[in-house]
Amino acid sequence: MPIATPDMYRKMLKKAKEKKFAFPAINVTSMETARAAIEGFAEKKSDGILQVSTGGAEYASGIVLKNMAIGAVALADYIHFIAKEFNVCIALHTDHCQPGKLDTFVRPLIAETKKRREKGLPNLFNSHMFDGSELSLKENMKVAKQLLEEMKGTELLLEVEAGVVGGEEDGVDTSDTPHDKLYTTPEDMVYVYQELSQLTDYFLFAATFGNVHGVYKPGNVKLKPSILKDGQNAVGKLSASLNLVFHGGSGSLIEEIHETLEYGVVKMNVDTDTQYAYTRPLVDHFFKNYDGALKVDGEVGNKKIYDPRSYGKLGEKSMLARVALACDDLRSSGQSICL
């Protein structure tokens, strides 16, 4: 079916919170990875979220243009076209946009959505993320509120982050972040709610509780999901509840993932694991077919081996399976609002 309408997107998130499951939010960079994600959701009868980061969008535009806004629009248009062939709801989201990239990424995409609405077309994206974690919390919320003002009349949702997700993603390295910055406090969560609720009744909040981007060996990541519980309890005193996002979820223990679902996590970003799932069969393909993939010692190779379709299908199939596993892990399987 077509990309989720704003009402459908809210219905998806509301159901996830009530039923204590979360949507895998899969980062995509190409038609192949977008298809794999949608196919994985469809296989599990799960609605889902496809998201495009600044680096992923720039990659999608090609090595000549290197224009993140153009890449994001091109990917979104393709996803709009292909998603309607599947009987699950797919939402589109942009991931991790730092303050310095707002004018070349999120703001042009907001403008594009406004143009579409003027023509009677559906929104390009469902939501955008502003990552203001490098700013003071006060400045972070000031910029977030400016974005909400710019989004008026579009029905777009905003995702914000307070605290820092460790590790490295899209060239942004936060490995040296002071330990205490990796944990959002209850006071921070209350402040975010009080500031943003002045302008909107619905937003997504990526609170940090020791999560990091990338996959690390067991014991290296010190997650504290109870931080989310403490924050929700603090916000609950204002008769409110936050819609939380789990960033840096790849490689997390299933018990910790399930605990976060109890505290209001409705969306979990999955990128590193699906990147590996896509790439692993390609490596296998070339190692096993080295002489067919290359024209070695005057030979001509084997077109069936080096044709990109031969290994692209392998990557797509493997990533599809990893997305399906994410649906099971996050308990979104069989929960589509289309059922």
| Alpha carbons 145 and 339: distance in angstroms, whole number | 36
Q: Which residues contact 111 (CB under 8 A, 6 or more apart)?
A: none
| Alpha carbons 86 and 41: distance in angstroms, whole number | 9
Bridge pairing between strands 166-169 and 90-97: unpaired
**Closest alpha carbon to 128 in 254, 287, 245, 298:** 245
Q: Would you put residue 156 in left (φ > 0), alpha (ψ -120 to 50) or beta?
A: beta
DSSP state of 275: H
List phi, psi (to 5°) of 137.
-60, -35
The pair of three-digit structure tokens given for residue 170, joined into one six-digit string: 């899209």
Which residues are registered as beta bridge partners of 265? 244
Confirm whether 170 is a catalytic residue: no
**Closest alpha carbon to 76 in 43, 42, 41, 121:** 121
The pair of three-digit structure tokens given for residue 134, joined into one six-digit string: 């490098």
Rounded to 5 degrees, what angle do the CA atoms 176, 232, 110 make? 70
> Is 159 within 8 Å of 206 (Cβ atoms)?
yes
Q: Which residues contact 155 (CB under 8 A, 6 or more apart)?
A: 6, 123
The pair of three-digit structure tokens given for residue 254, joined into one six-digit string: 């299933």
Which residue in 7, 47, 77, 95 is the catalytic one?
A: 95
| Alpha carbons 62 and 99: distance in angstroms, whole number | 23
> Is 50 within 8 Å of 37 (Cβ atoms)?
yes
Place of tokens 């892990």: 329
The secondary structure element, H or E, covering residue 244 is: strand 243-246
Active site residues: 95
